Chain A
Amino acid sequence: MFATTILMAFKEIRRNVLRSALTVLGIIIGVAAVIIIVTLGAGTTAQVGSEISKMGSNMLTLMPGGNHRMGGAAGSSPPFELSDIEALRRDIPEIAAIAPYAQRMSQIIAGNENRRSNVVGTTSEFIQVRNWALTAGRTFTPAEESAGRAVCIIGATIHEEMFPGQDPLGAMIRVDKISCEIIGILESKGQVMFGGDQDLVVAMPTRTFQRRISGSNRIAQIFISAYSQESMPALKEQVTQLMRERRRVDEDEDSNFNVLDMTEVSEVMENTIGVMTTFLSAIAAVSLLVGGIGIMNIMLVSVTERTREIGIRLAIGATENEVMMQFLVEAALLSAFGGFAGIVLGMTGAALVAPAINVPFVFEPVTALMAFAFSGAVGVAFGFMPARRAARLNPIEALRHE
């Protein structure tokens, strides 16, 4: 009987294809919008996660400044020095690798090519800390580091754009006012969502950078990596403690530096994306509500149009429940069709949009299933009133209806 009811409802929907399609347009758009938002949100979350792990998930970042204000008010807090790094390395054996980081945008010239690039002063450990690798060449030797020699490692973008098809190892590159020898090439890390091309970079020893580029002993950040993810909280505590002592922070004072844990950063970002996704989905869901009202409207019209049919059904022995079920199934089926079309449309849309905004396309069957179930529920909820009206018609009057 139930199968027959569904079949009857299906026939009825097909009888008015155009009207049915227009009726469910609201549902289609609503579901498609929710699917696109949720899919892109999931893609963005995955993207952030992979970027964080690219940066090294076992990594701590030390920055001057107070209270997690990333990059803010750094001027008021004293910067780090190379001696800080030596102290950290000496006193905390749990540190796997540690590297200073000073950075500046500078002009790079090689032959006729000319770029503005990120120039970084660091040590050979930088590559280890940042989970990076060299595709060719070598890193700085301790001798080069302590002498402040003019040697540098270039990013993949510099290689491709300034030395296309050439082996740049041993070539000279002009960075600001100095000329330095290329000794290594970094593997490509690609675009980051927040920070542009990571491969547009020239790295040189800290001393070289301090003396010849920045002219200052300041170190903007210190990167520290742990041996394992599990040791991160303890390591973070030790680093904080030591740095508070070195920077003479009183016990009741807030630290004048931050120790950022990358998993924390990723959690914060994922939470932010989650809130945004939920918020946007809620807005899109309003369209589902409007779609539901559209279904209710057309079902009411349908009940009026089919008054005589309802009268006939009641006269030949349909119970009120059966008539009600017929209209309810029709509304639910209509709405579920809309939901299905919306899922297809939404997935297609997300698959098209994702590459355009540099986000991976993540198919989430649970989202699709939920959207489908929800659209069916919308049909039942908004089909209830018209269906009950149909079931409660007086058969005598319904049969007389023109």
Chain B
Amino acid sequence: MTTNYNPSGSIQMASGNVSGQPLIRFENVFKIYGQGDAEVRALDGVSFEVNSGDFVAVMGASGSGKSTTMNILGCLDVPTRGKYFFRGVDVATLSHDQLALLRRHYLGFVFQGFNLLARTTALENLELPLIYQRLDKGARRRRAMEALETVGLLGRENHTPAELSGGQQQRVAIARAIVTEPSVILADEPTGNLDSARSHEIMQLLTRLNRERGLTVVLVTHEDDIAAYAHRRLEFRDGKIINETSTQDAA
């Protein structure tokens, strides 16, 4: 292992310095593929902020730029131009390894396709991010069991994904996202593969985590009834935000 840094220290994100600034800030972000006539602007000057404790839905048709936004938010991709500040830190200044550490300690991912490790039990799936956090076996197990309890899957810890329903798999995935106690959960169409009843269960779980734990949630969806769980909506079209609405009052 050549990770010669103190994870949280080197990226200078002590939880205290968040006060006064938003958790996430996009400043005129562009993502451009190709050049000249073949140029495609996946993001065309996007600016928005997400505060700690927010529940934001990113909406739009496919190709509108919402997936690109999620990838940049998740530090899996970088803007061509413009700035992305996470807890006040310009992400462009971070190294590859520091980005990995940022994901490890501050971000939790939930995917449309669940993306659990196959032939691996729910418990082992939950322990995986904790292994990278260098937690010892006892602490890993305790935290994993807590997270399983939170998503209502106690008793299923030794089931592999193949032995779980779609809704249960997504619960495991959510448990994996929250087990590291991140600042924000990035959920990319988390209900896309689920039926309506299961979808609402998953959204109720995310809502509960947001309300009870103050967990910030950024959700990508193209369904109105799913977006309705969020407090704010950012509507994308052709790489731009065309509409921003707050549904805080409704909630």
Is A bound to B? yes
Residues of A at under 8 Å CB distance from B? 1-2, 4, 8, 15, 308-309, 311-322, 325, 395-396, 399
Stretch at the interface among B98-106, B200-208, B219-227, B238-246: B98-106
B142 CB-CB contact with A under 8 Å: no
> Given A321-B1, A321-B3, A314–B100 Cβ distance below 8 Å?
yes
13 contacts between A and B (CB under 8 A): A1-B1, A4-B131, A309-B117, A315-B74, A315-B103, A315-B109, A316-B128, A317-B102, A317-B129, A321-B1, A321-B3, A322-B3, A399-B115
A101 to B110, CA, bound (A): 94
Instruction: Tell whether, in the assembled complex, residue A312 and residue B117 are in contact, meaning their CB atoms are under 8 Å apart.
Output: yes
A15 to B132, CA, bound (A): 22
Contacts of A322 in B (CB 8 A): 1, 3, 132
Question: Which of B2, B76, B134 has the most CB atoms of chain A within a 10 A radius of its CB?
Answer: B76
> Given A325-B1, A395-B76, A318–B115 Cβ distance below 8 Å?
no
Select A317's contact among B105, B116, B118, B119, beta carbons within 8 Å. Answer: B105
A8 to B132, CA, bound (A): 12
The B29-79 residues at the A interface (CB cut-off 8 A) are 71, 74, 76-77
Instruction: Tell whether, in the assembled complex, residue A15 and residue B119 are in contact, meaning their CB atoms are under 8 Å apart.
Output: yes
Determine chain A's interface SS by DSSP, over half rule: helix
Contacts of A315 in B (CB 8 A): 74, 76, 103, 109, 115
Closest residue on chain B to residue A394 by CB atoms: B76
Count of A-B contacts judged by CB separation below 8 Å: 68
Residues of B at under 8 Å CB distance from A? 1-3, 71, 74, 76-77, 96-97, 100-105, 107, 109, 111, 115-119, 128-129, 131-134, 176, 180
Instruction: Tell whether, in the assembled complex, residue A320 and residue B128 are in contact, meaning their CB atoms are under 8 Å apart.
Output: no
Instruction: Tell whether, in the assembled complex, residue B104 and residue A317 are in contact, meaning their CB atoms are under 8 Å apart.
Output: yes
A316 to B117, CA, bound (A): 12
Known: A314-B100, A318-B104. 17 other contacts (CB 8 A): A1-B134, A2-B1, A309-B118, A312-B116, A316-B132, A316-B180, A317-B102, A317-B105, A318-B132, A319-B101, A320-B97, A320-B100, A321-B2, A321-B3, A325-B1, A396-B71, A399-B115
A311 to B77, CA, bound (A): 13
A314 to B134, CA, bound (A): 15
> Given A1-B1, A4-B131, A312-B117, A319–B111 Cβ distance below 8 Å?
no
A379 to B175, CA, bound (A): 36
Contacts of B119 in A (CB 8 A): 15
Contacts of A316 in B (CB 8 A): 103-104, 109, 128-129, 132, 176, 180
A312 to B126, CA, bound (A): 12
A309 CB to closest chain B CB (Å) equals 6
A311 to B188, CA, bound (A): 15
Instruction: Tell whether, in the assembled complex, residue B96 and residue A320 are in contact, meaning their CB atoms are under 8 Å apart.
Output: yes
